[in-house]
Structure 1
Amino acid sequence: MAWAPESEALRGCVAVVAGATRGAGRGIAAALGEVGATVICTGRSSVTGTGGSDYDRPETIEETAGLVTRLGGNGIAIQVDHLDSEQVRVLAERVRVEHGRIHVLVNDIWGAEVLKGTPATWNTPIWEHDLDDGLRILRLAIDTHLITSHHLLPLLIGEPGGLLVEVTDGTRDYNASRYRISAFYDLAKVAVNRLAFSQGHELKEHGATAVAITPGWLRSEMMLANFGVTEGNWRTAVAPGGIEGYPSAPEGFAASESPRYVGRGVAALAADPERARWNQCSLTSAQLAREYGFTDIDGSQPDSWADQ
């Protein structure tokens, strides 16, 4: 039977999830909603139809905010391009006026899933890689996080206890010994782990905590679409034959996780009064599940990093 979150654990907590439109960002926003938080959901994809992301996808920040509210929190959608410093400054000022402070900041901005290419294009050496695409990967993955922290962390450090979460792909140790897809992608994911470390150093004297978190094999909307399945029937992707007209998922997909799993890891950290013990750490959703006892939405505790 699936673990049930404590619905009032973060009532009164104000969180900003930057990059909440889909994937891990939506899962984190939803999990914070499960425990009663007010979640400001930011991103470029909005029902306004202007200033959208690099993806041709239907998800919007308004959908995420609505999900947060249905799950018991208070979801607020604010359209922001986190590469635009002025837009993020305006976001910070609005949050200050309307909420006074924030308790949790999640930097999950990405947007380079298409630019990283398909497996057939991975391992392209830097001298053959499209330079403009590579540099945009770095801007979307690193500059956005720096800009967001610069403007929003002042709202986190006014009182002790704040939590900054940097979302990446791969732990510090895993990435240190493995080449990740391309020089650009590799640098981006290593850098985000280091951002948690460096910001944790700066936040410690203010009584705040910074961590890097990586999900395992994530069943994002884009990943599910790739195999022609939904969250309701995703196991069909690893069955013999898979879904007609779509590639079959590799065997490892059986240990994949929903976006809510890493989200519950963030919620557990935010609710832990002793969270400072994790400052500057690089963590996985599965590691946090073992520590705090939560499960994915199907009651399991998957760990796709276990055999890596």
Structure 2
Amino acid sequence: MAPTIAVVTGASRGAGKGIAVALGATGATVYVTGRSTRPGDSPHGGTIAETAALVDAAGGTGVPVAVDHADDSAVAALFARITGEHGRLDILVNNAAKVPAPSTPGGFWENPIGAADLITVGLRSHFIAAYHAAPLLIANGRGLLVTTGHYGAVSYHQGPAYGAQKAGADKMAADMAKDLRPHHVAAVSIWMGGLRTERAEAHLATLPPGARTAPRESPQFTGRVIAALYASPDLPAYSGRALIGAELGAELGVTDVDGTVPLSRRAELGAPPELHPSLLG
């Protein structure tokens, strides 16, 4: 049986790294994209080569590809390469985002305007990757397009740019699902909880103990959920929806790497909006 072919964007560290490694554990070939090619490229460490090596160690095949997701031609070249090497794609995980510096007290107009970059690399970039991936997913006869989402789509988190990116990505996934449904390709947004990423742990270390939230999901949990969703015979029924990862994991019998079951934050932070029937038909 041919291995699953997956692309995880923004996978030098954080959620993307965890998702890539979890997919590698299923034996998948995972194309790992990002801009970090040297250990010093980010204060939080991590490179695409390091993630690819972890995919190998997990049992898959990691393929590091340096891609700046603000560069449309680089994204097109990535999927042209996959076309030449495999002629198909099973899973695309749109995770790349230009995360702004933590906001300071005050309104959005009092913080750096660079926060808007998240709409370019984080929303527009998702569309560009999906645009080039769609023919490969369709050629496969069955596929899954995932956007990594968050409760910030419906509750306040890190300011207006963050909310616009998350809400926009949810709606984009729903509309893509509508277009892809006749081709047996599903598109979903999976909302992640608080993650134990390098960036998050560094930030938490600066806070007083009483301000540190717990429990937190591992970055691999979402990857485990994605793998289980792709393998599920009920995949088409989930298409078009924004799904809380903790709830979807519970439905699919997925646990975190330490055996725990992450908790939904629906009551605390909100729930995905209901879709109009025109998106579900």
Question: TM-score when scaled to structure 1?
Answer: 0.81
Correspondent of 1:128 among 110, 116, 135? 110
Matches within 5 A, 1:233-272: 246-250=206-210, 253-272=213-232
Residue 112 of structure 1 aligns with which residue?
99
8 Å contact kept, 1:11–1:37: no
- Secondary structure at the residue paired with 1:158? helix
Shift in Å, 1:304: 4.9
Q: Percent identity?
A: 36
Counterparts of 1:250 and 1:21, CA distance in 2: 30
Residue 185 of structure 1 aligns with which residue?
162
Shift in Å, 1:227: 3.3
Correspondent of 1:277 among 237, 240, 243? 237
Query: What amino acid maps onto 1:18 in structure 2?
Result: T
Within the alignment, does 1:227 sit opposite 2:204 as a pair? yes
Correspondent of 2:247 among 273, 283, 287? 287
Counterparts of 1:144 and 1:250, CA distance in 2: 37
8 Å contact kept, 1:41–1:76: yes
Q: Which 4+ runs in 1 deviate beyond 6 A?
A: none
Counterparts of 1:61 and 1:195, CA distance in 2: 27
Structure 2 gap segments, 5+ residues each: 269-281
8 Å contact kept, 1:255–1:304: no
Within the alignment, does 1:162 sit opposite 2:162 as a pair? no
Residue 17 of structure 2 aligns with which residue?
26
Which structure's residues are more often helix, by fraction?
2
Residue 17 of structure 1 aligns with which residue?
8
8 Å contact kept, 2:100–2:115: no
Query: What amino acid maps onto 2:136 in structure 1?
Result: L
Instruction: Write out per-residue CA displacement over residues 152-198 of structure 1, whole angstroms, 9 at most, x where no aligned residue.
Output: 2211111321100011222xxx733x333322111111111111111
Counterparts of 2:24 and 2:267, CA distance in 1: 32
Counterparts of 2:164 and 2:212, CA distance in 1: 25
CA RMSD in angstroms comes to: 2.0
TM-aligned CA distance change 1:224 to 1:108, over 3 Å:
same
Within the alignment, does 1:204 sit opposite 2:181 as a pair? yes
Query: What amino acid maps onto 1:227 in structure 2?
Result: L
Within the alignment, does 1:85 sit opposite 2:72 as a pair? yes
Query: What amino acid maps onto 1:175 in structure 2?
Result: A
Residue 138 of structure 1 aligns with which residue?
119
Shift in Å, 1:48: 8.8
- Secondary structure at the residue paired with 1:255? coil
Counterparts of 1:111 and 1:302, CA distance in 2: 26
TM-aligned CA distance change 1:163 to 1:249, over 3 Å:
farther
* Matched residue count: 268
Question: TM-score when scaled to structure 2?
Answer: 0.88
Counterparts of 1:79 and 1:181, CA distance in 2: 28
Counterparts of 1:160 and 1:223, CA distance in 2: 38
Residue 29 of structure 2 aligns with which residue?
38
Residue 271 of structure 2 aligns with which residue?
none
Shift in Å, 1:266: 0.8
Structure 1 gap segments, 5+ residues each: 1-9, 229-245
TM-aligned CA distance change 1:12 to 1:166, over 3 Å:
same
8 Å contact kept, 1:269–1:275: yes
Counterparts of 1:292 and 1:248, CA distance in 2: 36
